[in-house]
Amino acid sequence: MKLYNYFRSSASFRVRIALALKGLDYEYASVHLLQGGGQQFAAEFRAMNPAALVPVLDDDGTVLTQSLAIIEYLDETRPLPPLLPKDAAGRARVRALALAIACEIHPLNNLRVLAYLSQTLGVSDEQKNAWYRHWVETGLAAVEAMLASDPRTGACCH
Quick one: pLDDT at residue 109? 83
Which helix (H) or strand (E) segment is 97 a member of?
helix 88-99
Q: For 88, phi and psi rounded to 5 degrees? A: -60, -40
> Above 90 in pLDDT, residue 107?
no
Q: Taking residues 105-112, what's their average pLDDT?
A: 86
C-alpha closest to that of 78 among 11, 29, 23: 23
Question: What is the SS3 assignment for 132?
Answer: helix
> Above 90 in pLDDT, residue 40?
yes
Sheet holding 27-30, edge to edge: 27-30, 2-5, 56-59, 62-65
C-alpha closest to that of 31 among 23, 20, 42: 42
What global pTM score does this model have? 0.90
Domains of the chain: 2-77 (3.40.30.10), 88-148 (1.20.1050.10)
> Above 90 in pLDDT, residue 157?
no
Which helix (H) or strand (E) segment is 12 a member of?
helix 10-22
Which helix (H) or strand (E) segment is 63 a member of?
strand 62-65
Quick one: pLDDT at residue 89? 94
User: What is d(CA 101, CA 67) in angstroms, rounded to the nearest whole number?
Assistant: 11
> Above 90 in pLDDT, residue 155?
no
Q: Residue 132 — very low, low, confident or very high, per pLDDT cuts 50/70/90?
A: very high
> Please, which residues bridge with residue 2 across strands?
27, 58
User: What is d(CA 45, CA 33) in angstroms, rounded to the nearest whole number?
Assistant: 12
Task: For the chain, give the percent of residues with pLDDT over 90.
Answer: 87
